[in-house]
Amino acid sequence: MIVIPAVDIRQGKCVRLSQGRADAQTVYSDDPAAMAAKWEGMGAARIHVVDLDGAFEKTPKNLDAIKKILETVKKPVQVGGGIRDLATMETYLDLGVSNIIIGTEAIRNPEMVKDACKRFPGKIIVGIDAKEGMVAVEGWTETTSVKAVDLARSFEDAGVAAVNFTDIHRDGMQTGPNIEQTRAFAQAISIPVVASGGVSTIKDIKSVKTLAEDGVVGVITGRALYVGTLDLAEAVSVAMEGVDPEYNPF
């Protein structure tokens, strides 16, 4: 299992939001690229970047900051937030982004996602954010009537590289990941799952690692790294213990 540090960008700065709320923001750095380089230096196999302004405003807003990250780090960079069309995906991929994360459009325009999987094989990750098991969209500002697991199942044969599954109630709260819900979600689909939300300590990394046999191939963590309750180098060591050093689920 790999540990993927999150670099969330808002107005060009590296921030974290609690439960996705725009009014619950903490700024951790004025230089997202420097943070990405720090995490790479501590052993991160890839970097998870979210354009928060893009998520809220429905179009990419932090392209310059993302370009700088791509110029700074060598590890794969996956990007999400405000990606609503094939042209934007192509722009990011041409810049060197490894994987595109599609959230809201996965439910609004699933056929486009399937087309993207065909056009960009192995490059599309579906981000499914759940609130009490139901899909949340538009930067988590709207909860739908669609079950998260049903949405994931609809992409079973589309060629999706992975599903990022986030429990909104846990995200940024450092209350521990929802292990049982994540296990049930991963067991219900054949697509590799990356867990997210609530990771706070090394104990949480160990807990998520127990889900590897259920199809969880990675875990995204953000706030815990920034406030210091989780050491990335230790987390990477624990997650990769007993795993081939060249392991890459993507």
Domains annotated for the chain, with CATH where assigned, are 2-240 (3.20.20.70)
| pLDDT at position 250 over 90 | no
Q: Which of 53, 129, 167, 171 is catalytic?
A: 129
Give residue 142's pLDDT: 76
Q: Is 167 a catalytic residue?
A: no
- Return the amino acid letter for 153: R
| Contacting residues for 7 by C-beta, under 8 A, at least 6 apart | 14, 32, 35, 36, 39, 47, 48, 49, 50, 69
Query: Is the entire prediction scored with pTM above 0.85?
Result: yes
pLDDT digits (tens, 9 = 90+) for 112-148: 999 999 999 999 999 998 888 889 876 556 788 999 9
| pLDDT at position 169 over 80 | no
pLDDT digits (tens, 9 = 90+) for 96-114: 999 999 988 999 999 999 9
Q: Is 129 a catalytic residue?
A: yes
CB 187 within 8 Å of CB 215: yes
Adjacent-strand bridge partners of 17: 25
User: In terms of Cα–Cα distance, which of 118, 119, 184, 116 is closest to 153?
Assistant: 184
The number of residues making up the chain comes to 250
DSSP string, 126-185: EEEEEETTEEEETTTTEEEEEEHHHHHHTTTTTT--EEEEEETTTTTT-S---HHHHHHH
Q: Which of 8, 51, 53, 204 is catalytic?
A: 8
Whole-angstrom distance, CA of residue 163 vs CA of residue 178: 16
| pLDDT at position 172 over 50 | no
Give the containing element (helix H, strand E) for 57.
Answer: helix 52-57
